């Protein structure tokens, strides 16, 4: 996804906080950051296999928070 798409989906987080989180996830190997030189220049993010392996746990947490809300 593009940064702007992620920002739209996660409207409760500031762009600076989202950028910091994405950089940390990239350093940890859970997200891959790819720069498409454009024009226009685009930065794309995708889950790595390690990130994909966490999807069931994250989905379970999301389901739990929705039930508890």
Query: CA 30, 20, 3: angle at the middle one, nearest 5?
Result: 75
Residues in the chain, total? 69
Query: pLDDT by residue (tens digit) across 46-57?
Result: 999 999 999 999
Query: pLDDT by residue (tens digit) across 28-41?
Result: 999 999 998 878 88
Q: How far is CA 12 from the centre of its chain?
A: 14
Beta strands in the chain (DSSP E): 31-36, 42-47
> How many domains does one find in the chain?
1
Which pTM was predicted? 0.77
Host domain of residue 35: 3-68
CATH number at residue 58: 1.10.10.10
Q: Which two tokens stand for residue 8?
A: 């739209």
């Amino acid at each position: 996804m593009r940064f702007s798409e992620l920002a739209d989906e996660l409207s409760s987080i500031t762009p600076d906080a989202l950028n910091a989180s994405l950089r940390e996830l990239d350093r940890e190997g859970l997200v891959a950051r790819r720069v498409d030189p454009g024009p226009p220049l685009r930065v794309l993010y995708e889950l790595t296999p390690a990130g994909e392996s966490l999807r069931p746990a994250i989905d379970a947490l999301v389901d739990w928070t929705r039930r508890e809300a």
